[in-house]
Structure 1
Amino acid sequence: MVVEAKGLTKHFNRRTIFSDISFHLEDGESLVITGPNGSGKSTLVKIISGLLTPTSGTIEFYNDGKLLPAEVKYHQLGLVSPYLQLYKDLTAWENLTFFARTRDSKVDESRLKMLLKRVGLGGREHDELKTYSSGMIQRIKYVAALYHQPRILILDEPTANLDEKGAKIVYEIIKEQTSRHILIIATNEPDEVKFGMKHVELG
Protein backbone atom coordinates (compact mmCIF):
# COMPACT_ATOMS: atom_id res chain seq x y z
CA MET A 1 0.00 0.00 0.00
CA VAL A 2 1.21 3.52 -0.85
CA VAL A 3 -0.19 6.94 0.10
CA GLU A 4 1.02 9.75 -2.16
CA ALA A 5 0.23 13.41 -1.42
CA LYS A 6 1.34 16.10 -3.86
CA GLY A 7 0.99 19.84 -3.36
CA LEU A 8 -1.98 19.74 -0.99
CA THR A 9 -3.33 23.26 -0.43
CA LYS A 10 -6.47 24.42 1.36
CA HIS A 11 -8.09 27.86 1.40
CA PHE A 12 -11.07 28.96 3.49
CA ASN A 13 -12.66 32.34 2.75
CA ARG A 14 -9.51 33.64 1.05
CA ARG A 15 -7.37 32.47 3.96
CA THR A 16 -4.65 29.94 3.26
CA ILE A 17 -4.78 27.18 5.88
CA PHE A 18 -1.74 25.37 4.47
CA SER A 19 -0.09 25.05 1.09
CA ASP A 20 2.03 22.66 -0.95
CA ILE A 21 2.00 19.70 1.45
CA SER A 22 3.57 16.59 -0.06
CA PHE A 23 4.55 13.20 1.38
CA HIS A 24 4.99 9.56 0.40
CA LEU A 25 4.17 6.64 2.70
CA GLU A 26 4.50 2.90 2.25
CA ASP A 27 3.63 -0.09 4.44
CA GLY A 28 5.62 0.02 7.67
CA GLU A 29 5.94 3.82 7.63
CA SER A 30 4.31 6.52 9.72
CA LEU A 31 3.66 10.25 9.43
CA VAL A 32 3.10 12.71 12.26
CA ILE A 33 1.36 16.04 11.62
CA THR A 34 2.08 18.79 14.14
CA GLY A 35 1.32 22.49 14.49
CA PRO A 36 -0.35 25.01 16.79
CA ASN A 37 -4.12 25.16 17.24
CA GLY A 38 -5.77 26.46 14.09
CA SER A 39 -2.86 25.50 11.85
CA GLY A 40 -4.95 22.98 9.92
CA LYS A 41 -4.01 19.59 11.39
CA SER A 42 -7.59 18.30 11.45
CA THR A 43 -8.28 19.83 8.04
CA LEU A 44 -5.34 17.93 6.57
CA VAL A 45 -6.52 14.73 8.26
CA LYS A 46 -9.98 15.20 6.74
CA ILE A 47 -8.47 15.67 3.29
CA ILE A 48 -6.35 12.53 3.65
CA SER A 49 -9.44 10.63 4.85
CA GLY A 50 -11.58 11.87 1.98
CA LEU A 51 -13.92 13.93 4.17
CA LEU A 52 -12.78 17.20 2.56
CA THR A 53 -11.39 18.07 -0.85
CA PRO A 54 -8.22 20.18 -1.18
CA THR A 55 -8.30 23.51 -2.98
CA SER A 56 -5.47 22.13 -5.07
CA GLY A 57 -3.14 19.15 -5.02
CA THR A 58 -3.83 15.42 -4.90
CA ILE A 59 -3.94 12.58 -2.40
CA GLU A 60 -3.84 9.13 -3.96
CA PHE A 61 -3.72 5.55 -2.68
CA TYR A 62 -2.07 2.68 -4.53
CA ASN A 63 -2.04 -1.06 -3.98
CA ASP A 64 0.43 -3.17 -5.95
CA GLY A 65 1.06 -0.14 -8.14
CA LYS A 66 -2.62 0.32 -9.03
CA LEU A 67 -4.54 3.50 -8.16
CA LEU A 68 -7.44 2.75 -5.81
CA PRO A 69 -10.84 4.30 -6.61
CA ALA A 70 -12.61 6.18 -3.80
CA GLU A 71 -15.01 3.35 -2.88
CA VAL A 72 -12.13 0.89 -2.52
CA LYS A 73 -9.98 3.37 -0.61
CA TYR A 74 -12.71 3.74 2.01
CA HIS A 75 -12.36 0.08 2.95
CA GLN A 76 -8.62 0.50 3.54
CA LEU A 77 -8.97 3.40 6.02
CA GLY A 78 -9.53 3.47 9.76
CA LEU A 79 -10.13 6.87 11.39
CA VAL A 80 -10.23 7.96 15.04
CA SER A 81 -10.99 11.64 15.61
CA PRO A 82 -12.87 14.06 17.88
CA TYR A 83 -15.34 14.88 15.09
CA LEU A 84 -16.29 11.23 14.46
CA GLN A 85 -19.77 11.12 15.95
CA LEU A 86 -21.37 8.08 17.57
CA TYR A 87 -25.03 7.58 18.49
CA LYS A 88 -25.25 8.12 22.24
CA ASP A 89 -28.83 6.84 22.56
CA LEU A 90 -27.69 3.48 21.18
CA THR A 91 -25.60 0.86 22.93
CA ALA A 92 -21.94 0.37 22.11
CA TRP A 93 -22.84 -2.88 20.37
CA GLU A 94 -25.53 -1.20 18.25
CA ASN A 95 -23.09 1.51 17.24
CA LEU A 96 -20.34 -0.95 16.35
CA THR A 97 -22.55 -3.31 14.37
CA PHE A 98 -23.98 -0.33 12.47
CA PHE A 99 -20.51 0.83 11.42
CA ALA A 100 -19.42 -2.74 10.71
CA ARG A 101 -22.33 -3.22 8.30
CA THR A 102 -21.21 -0.19 6.29
CA ARG A 103 -18.17 -2.32 5.35
CA ASP A 104 -19.46 -5.91 5.49
CA SER A 105 -22.87 -7.41 4.95
CA LYS A 106 -22.25 -9.86 7.81
CA VAL A 107 -20.88 -8.68 11.16
CA ASP A 108 -17.96 -10.62 12.64
CA GLU A 109 -19.22 -10.67 16.23
CA SER A 110 -16.20 -12.57 17.55
CA ARG A 111 -13.87 -9.88 16.24
CA LEU A 112 -15.94 -7.11 17.81
CA LYS A 113 -15.91 -8.93 21.16
CA MET A 114 -12.15 -9.43 20.93
CA LEU A 115 -11.58 -5.74 20.21
CA LEU A 116 -13.92 -4.65 23.02
CA LYS A 117 -11.96 -6.82 25.43
CA ARG A 118 -8.70 -5.42 24.13
CA VAL A 119 -9.71 -1.83 24.86
CA GLY A 120 -11.02 -2.80 28.31
CA LEU A 121 -14.74 -2.63 27.56
CA GLY A 122 -15.68 -6.29 27.50
CA GLY A 123 -18.99 -6.69 29.31
CA ARG A 124 -20.08 -3.08 28.69
CA GLU A 125 -21.14 -3.48 25.06
CA HIS A 126 -24.88 -3.47 25.85
CA ASP A 127 -24.78 -0.18 27.78
CA GLU A 128 -25.97 2.96 26.03
CA LEU A 129 -23.17 5.35 25.11
CA LYS A 130 -24.82 8.15 27.07
CA THR A 131 -23.71 6.25 30.18
CA TYR A 132 -20.09 6.18 28.97
CA SER A 133 -17.34 8.59 29.97
CA SER A 134 -15.51 10.52 27.23
CA GLY A 135 -12.56 8.16 27.59
CA MET A 136 -14.77 5.10 27.13
CA ILE A 137 -16.29 6.64 23.99
CA GLN A 138 -12.77 7.21 22.64
CA ARG A 139 -12.05 3.51 23.15
CA ILE A 140 -15.20 2.57 21.23
CA LYS A 141 -13.95 4.69 18.33
CA TYR A 142 -10.82 2.53 18.24
CA VAL A 143 -12.93 -0.63 18.05
CA ALA A 144 -14.87 0.86 15.11
CA ALA A 145 -11.66 1.93 13.36
CA LEU A 146 -9.85 -1.39 13.83
CA TYR A 147 -12.74 -3.74 13.07
CA HIS A 148 -11.92 -4.14 9.35
CA GLN A 149 -8.15 -4.35 9.92
CA PRO A 150 -7.30 -1.14 8.02
CA ARG A 151 -4.05 -0.91 6.11
CA ILE A 152 -4.06 2.86 6.74
CA LEU A 153 -4.87 4.02 10.28
CA ILE A 154 -5.41 7.76 10.77
CA LEU A 155 -5.50 9.19 14.30
CA ASP A 156 -6.41 12.79 15.09
CA GLU A 157 -5.49 13.48 18.74
CA PRO A 158 -5.10 9.74 19.41
CA THR A 159 -5.16 9.84 23.22
CA ALA A 160 -7.75 12.60 23.69
CA ASN A 161 -9.82 11.98 26.85
CA LEU A 162 -7.86 8.83 27.72
CA ASP A 163 -6.27 8.04 31.07
CA GLU A 164 -2.82 6.48 31.39
CA LYS A 165 -4.15 2.95 30.95
CA GLY A 166 -6.10 3.94 27.85
CA ALA A 167 -3.10 5.74 26.36
CA LYS A 168 -0.98 2.62 26.87
CA ILE A 169 -3.51 0.56 24.88
CA VAL A 170 -3.37 3.12 22.06
CA TYR A 171 0.42 3.11 21.97
CA GLU A 172 0.36 -0.68 21.61
CA ILE A 173 -2.07 -0.31 18.68
CA ILE A 174 0.21 2.31 17.10
CA LYS A 175 3.24 0.04 17.34
CA GLU A 176 1.34 -2.85 15.76
CA GLN A 177 0.11 -0.68 12.90
CA THR A 178 3.56 0.68 12.05
CA SER A 179 5.05 -2.82 12.08
CA ARG A 180 2.95 -3.84 9.07
CA HIS A 181 0.92 -1.01 7.60
CA ILE A 182 0.63 2.79 7.37
CA LEU A 183 -0.03 5.15 10.30
CA ILE A 184 -0.86 8.87 10.19
CA ILE A 185 -1.11 10.86 13.46
CA ALA A 186 -2.09 14.48 14.07
CA THR A 187 -0.85 15.54 17.50
CA ASN A 188 1.35 17.85 19.52
CA GLU A 189 1.92 15.39 22.36
CA PRO A 190 5.65 14.55 22.69
CA ASP A 191 4.89 10.92 23.58
CA GLU A 192 3.00 10.59 20.28
CA VAL A 193 5.22 12.70 18.00
CA LYS A 194 8.02 10.18 18.49
CA PHE A 195 6.01 7.53 16.62
CA GLY A 196 6.32 9.47 13.36
CA MET A 197 9.03 8.34 10.95
CA LYS A 198 8.14 11.33 8.73
CA HIS A 199 6.96 14.76 9.82
CA VAL A 200 4.71 17.49 8.43
CA GLU A 201 4.75 20.68 10.51
CA LEU A 202 1.98 23.21 9.90
CA GLY A 203 1.69 26.84 10.92
Structure 2
Amino acid sequence: MSKYSLEVTQLTKYFGRRLIFSNLNFKFINNGIYGISGPNGSGKSTLVKILAGIIGTNKGRVQHSFNGNLVSEENIHNHIGFVSPYLILYEEFSAEENLLMFSKIRDVEYNKQRVDHLFEKFLLLKRKDDLVKTYSSGMKQRLKFIFALMHSPQLIILDEPTSNLDDEGKNSVYEIIREEGKKNIVLIASNEKNDLELCSEIIFLENYKQLN
Protein backbone atom coordinates (compact mmCIF):
# COMPACT_ATOMS: atom_id res chain seq x y z
CA MET A 1 0.00 0.00 0.00
CA SER A 2 1.33 3.41 -0.99
CA LYS A 3 2.15 5.98 1.68
CA TYR A 4 2.59 8.81 -0.77
CA SER A 5 1.08 12.29 -0.53
CA LEU A 6 0.93 15.32 -2.79
CA GLU A 7 0.21 18.80 -1.47
CA VAL A 8 -0.19 21.99 -3.55
CA THR A 9 -0.30 25.35 -1.79
CA GLN A 10 -1.17 28.74 -3.36
CA LEU A 11 0.08 27.62 -6.76
CA THR A 12 0.10 30.40 -9.38
CA LYS A 13 1.43 30.20 -12.93
CA TYR A 14 1.90 32.83 -15.64
CA PHE A 15 3.23 32.62 -19.17
CA GLY A 16 4.43 36.15 -19.81
CA ARG A 17 1.52 38.32 -18.66
CA ARG A 18 -1.09 35.63 -19.22
CA LEU A 19 -2.43 34.08 -16.03
CA ILE A 20 -2.85 30.29 -16.31
CA PHE A 21 -4.22 29.65 -12.81
CA SER A 22 -4.00 31.36 -9.44
CA ASN A 23 -3.94 30.29 -5.79
CA LEU A 24 -4.54 26.62 -6.48
CA ASN A 25 -4.70 24.47 -3.33
CA PHE A 26 -5.27 20.75 -2.92
CA LYS A 27 -3.91 17.79 -1.00
CA PHE A 28 -4.07 14.08 -1.81
CA ILE A 29 -3.04 11.81 1.04
CA ASN A 30 -5.14 8.75 0.28
CA ASN A 31 -4.90 6.28 -2.58
CA GLY A 32 -7.49 6.82 -5.26
CA ILE A 33 -8.28 8.34 -8.64
CA TYR A 34 -8.54 12.13 -8.91
CA GLY A 35 -9.28 14.42 -11.84
CA ILE A 36 -8.07 17.72 -13.26
CA SER A 37 -10.49 19.27 -15.73
CA GLY A 38 -11.03 22.49 -17.64
CA PRO A 39 -11.58 23.85 -21.17
CA ASN A 40 -8.83 23.53 -23.77
CA GLY A 41 -6.08 26.00 -22.86
CA SER A 42 -7.11 26.16 -19.21
CA GLY A 43 -3.76 24.85 -17.98
CA LYS A 44 -4.26 21.12 -17.44
CA SER A 45 -0.99 20.14 -19.13
CA THR A 46 0.82 23.02 -17.46
CA LEU A 47 -0.35 21.87 -14.04
CA VAL A 48 0.66 18.24 -14.50
CA LYS A 49 4.08 19.32 -15.78
CA ILE A 50 4.53 21.36 -12.60
CA LEU A 51 3.42 18.44 -10.43
CA ALA A 52 5.89 16.16 -12.22
CA GLY A 53 8.74 18.62 -11.74
CA ILE A 54 9.14 19.26 -15.49
CA ILE A 55 8.53 23.02 -15.28
CA GLY A 56 8.52 25.52 -12.43
CA THR A 57 5.87 27.78 -10.99
CA ASN A 58 5.76 31.53 -10.35
CA LYS A 59 4.31 31.29 -6.87
CA GLY A 60 3.34 28.62 -4.39
CA ARG A 61 4.62 25.21 -3.44
CA VAL A 62 4.35 21.60 -4.58
CA GLN A 63 5.30 19.08 -1.90
CA HIS A 64 5.77 15.35 -2.50
CA SER A 65 6.13 13.07 0.52
CA PHE A 66 6.80 9.36 0.83
CA ASN A 67 6.55 7.49 4.13
CA GLY A 68 6.41 10.83 5.92
CA ASN A 69 9.60 12.16 4.32
CA LEU A 70 9.79 14.99 1.80
CA VAL A 71 10.86 13.90 -1.69
CA SER A 72 13.54 16.13 -3.20
CA GLU A 73 13.08 17.57 -6.69
CA GLU A 74 15.86 15.43 -8.12
CA ASN A 75 14.20 12.25 -6.81
CA ILE A 76 10.60 12.90 -7.83
CA HIS A 77 11.01 10.88 -11.05
CA ASN A 78 11.68 7.74 -8.97
CA HIS A 79 8.20 7.96 -7.46
CA ILE A 80 5.99 9.11 -10.32
CA GLY A 81 4.75 7.63 -13.57
CA PHE A 82 3.84 10.15 -16.26
CA VAL A 83 1.79 9.65 -19.44
CA SER A 84 1.19 12.45 -21.95
CA PRO A 85 0.80 12.95 -25.71
CA TYR A 86 4.07 14.91 -25.85
CA LEU A 87 6.35 12.21 -24.39
CA ILE A 88 8.95 11.08 -26.92
CA LEU A 89 9.57 7.45 -27.89
CA TYR A 90 12.59 6.28 -29.90
CA GLU A 91 11.11 5.10 -33.19
CA GLU A 92 14.23 3.23 -34.38
CA PHE A 93 14.26 0.95 -31.34
CA SER A 94 11.89 -1.83 -30.38
CA ALA A 95 9.34 -1.31 -27.61
CA GLU A 96 11.39 -3.35 -25.14
CA GLU A 97 14.62 -1.58 -26.13
CA ASN A 98 12.90 1.73 -25.36
CA LEU A 99 11.99 0.51 -21.89
CA LEU A 100 15.48 -0.86 -21.23
CA MET A 101 16.93 2.52 -22.24
CA PHE A 102 14.52 4.42 -20.00
CA SER A 103 15.45 2.14 -17.08
CA LYS A 104 19.13 2.97 -17.54
CA ILE A 105 18.38 6.70 -17.77
CA ARG A 106 16.33 6.51 -14.58
CA ASP A 107 18.88 4.22 -12.95
CA VAL A 108 16.17 1.76 -11.87
CA GLU A 109 16.14 -2.01 -12.04
CA TYR A 110 14.49 -3.49 -15.14
CA ASN A 111 11.86 -5.88 -13.81
CA LYS A 112 11.25 -8.10 -16.82
CA GLN A 113 8.42 -10.03 -15.15
CA ARG A 114 6.50 -6.82 -14.40
CA VAL A 115 7.21 -5.38 -17.86
CA ASP A 116 5.97 -8.53 -19.60
CA HIS A 117 2.86 -8.43 -17.39
CA LEU A 118 2.25 -4.85 -18.52
CA PHE A 119 2.89 -5.74 -22.17
CA GLU A 120 0.21 -8.38 -21.83
CA LYS A 121 -2.20 -6.05 -20.01
CA PHE A 122 -1.84 -3.45 -22.74
CA LEU A 123 -2.17 -6.00 -25.55
CA LEU A 124 1.39 -5.52 -26.82
CA LEU A 125 3.17 -8.70 -25.70
CA LYS A 126 3.41 -10.13 -29.21
CA ARG A 127 4.73 -6.82 -30.55
CA LYS A 128 7.31 -5.96 -27.87
CA ASP A 129 10.25 -6.79 -30.18
CA ASP A 130 8.89 -4.74 -33.10
CA LEU A 131 10.31 -1.31 -33.89
CA VAL A 132 8.21 1.50 -32.47
CA LYS A 133 8.03 3.14 -35.90
CA THR A 134 5.76 0.25 -36.97
CA TYR A 135 3.31 0.99 -34.14
CA SER A 136 0.01 2.76 -34.63
CA SER A 137 -0.66 5.93 -32.59
CA GLY A 138 -2.81 3.88 -30.21
CA MET A 139 -0.08 1.31 -29.67
CA LYS A 140 2.41 4.08 -28.91
CA GLN A 141 0.00 5.49 -26.34
CA ARG A 142 -0.27 2.09 -24.65
CA LEU A 143 3.53 1.76 -24.65
CA LYS A 144 3.74 5.08 -22.80
CA PHE A 145 1.62 3.53 -20.05
CA ILE A 146 4.08 0.66 -19.72
CA PHE A 147 6.93 3.17 -19.50
CA ALA A 148 5.05 5.05 -16.75
CA LEU A 149 4.18 1.97 -14.70
CA MET A 150 7.18 -0.33 -15.08
CA HIS A 151 8.99 0.97 -11.97
CA SER A 152 5.87 0.66 -9.75
CA PRO A 153 5.42 4.39 -8.99
CA GLN A 154 3.36 5.70 -6.07
CA LEU A 155 1.97 8.71 -7.97
CA ILE A 156 0.66 8.24 -11.52
CA ILE A 157 -0.04 11.38 -13.57
CA LEU A 158 -2.04 10.92 -16.77
CA ASP A 159 -2.47 13.78 -19.25
CA GLU A 160 -5.22 12.95 -21.79
CA PRO A 161 -4.67 9.23 -21.14
CA THR A 162 -7.10 7.83 -23.72
CA SER A 163 -6.11 10.00 -26.68
CA ASN A 164 -5.55 7.93 -29.85
CA LEU A 165 -7.02 4.79 -28.26
CA ASP A 166 -9.79 2.62 -29.68
CA ASP A 167 -12.42 1.07 -27.42
CA GLU A 168 -10.29 -2.01 -26.70
CA GLY A 169 -7.31 0.15 -25.76
CA LYS A 170 -9.47 2.39 -23.56
CA ASN A 171 -10.86 -0.60 -21.71
CA SER A 172 -7.32 -1.86 -21.01
CA VAL A 173 -6.32 1.57 -19.72
CA TYR A 174 -9.40 1.91 -17.52
CA GLU A 175 -8.78 -1.51 -16.00
CA ILE A 176 -5.20 -0.57 -15.10
CA ILE A 177 -6.27 2.84 -13.73
CA ARG A 178 -8.79 1.16 -11.42
CA GLU A 179 -6.17 -1.35 -10.26
CA GLU A 180 -3.56 1.35 -9.61
CA GLY A 181 -6.05 3.59 -7.82
CA LYS A 182 -6.53 0.93 -5.14
CA LYS A 183 -2.89 1.16 -4.05
CA ASN A 184 -1.56 4.48 -5.41
CA ILE A 185 -2.57 8.05 -6.19
CA VAL A 186 -3.72 8.47 -9.80
CA LEU A 187 -4.28 11.94 -11.31
CA ILE A 188 -6.13 12.22 -14.62
CA ALA A 189 -6.04 15.50 -16.59
CA SER A 190 -8.81 15.26 -19.15
CA ASN A 191 -12.11 16.59 -20.48
CA GLU A 192 -13.30 13.14 -21.54
CA LYS A 193 -16.46 12.19 -19.65
CA ASN A 194 -15.51 8.52 -19.37
CA ASP A 195 -12.06 9.43 -18.01
CA LEU A 196 -13.49 11.74 -15.35
CA GLU A 197 -16.17 9.25 -14.29
CA LEU A 198 -13.35 7.21 -12.75
CA CYS A 199 -12.47 10.07 -10.40
CA SER A 200 -13.73 10.48 -6.84
CA GLU A 201 -12.73 14.18 -6.79
CA ILE A 202 -12.15 16.66 -9.62
CA ILE A 203 -10.26 19.98 -9.65
CA PHE A 204 -11.90 22.41 -12.08
CA LEU A 205 -9.21 24.82 -13.27
CA GLU A 206 -11.73 27.42 -14.49
CA ASN A 207 -12.33 28.16 -10.80
CA TYR A 208 -8.75 29.42 -10.43
CA LYS A 209 -8.52 32.13 -13.09
CA GLN A 210 -8.74 35.21 -10.86
CA LEU A 211 -6.09 36.73 -8.64
CA ASN A 212 -7.35 37.03 -5.07
- 1:48-127 alignment, distance < 5 Å: 48-104=51-107, 106-127=109-130
Q: Which residue of 1 aligns with 2:159?
A: 156
Alignment partner of 1:128 is 2:151: no
Structure 1 runs (4+) greater than 6 angstroms displaced: none
**Whole-Å separation in 2 of the counterparts to 1:107 and 1:96:** 8
Q: Which amino acid aligns with 2:106?
A: R
Aligned-pair Cα RMSD in Å? 1.2
Aligned pair count reads 203
Q: Tell me the CA shift for residue 13 of structure 1.
A: 1.2
Q: Secondary structure at the match of 2:126?
A: coil
Distance 1:195 1:124, change over 3 A: same
Contact 1:27–1:180 (8 Å) recurs in 2: no
Q: Which residue of 1 aligns with 2:168?
A: 165
| Unaligned 5+ runs, structure 1 | none
**Whole-Å separation in 2 of the counterparts to 1:140 and 1:88:** 12
Alignment partner of 1:144 is 2:150: no
Q: Which amino acid aligns with 2:93?
A: L
Q: Deviations over 1:148-186 (max 9, x none)?
A: 111100000011100101101111111111111101110
Moved more, 117-126 or 97-106: 97-106
Q: Percent identity?
A: 42
Alignment partner of 1:2 is 2:5: yes
Q: Which amino acid aligns with 1:167?
A: K
Which of the residues 41, 45, 50 maps onto 1:47? 50
TM-score by length of 1: 0.95
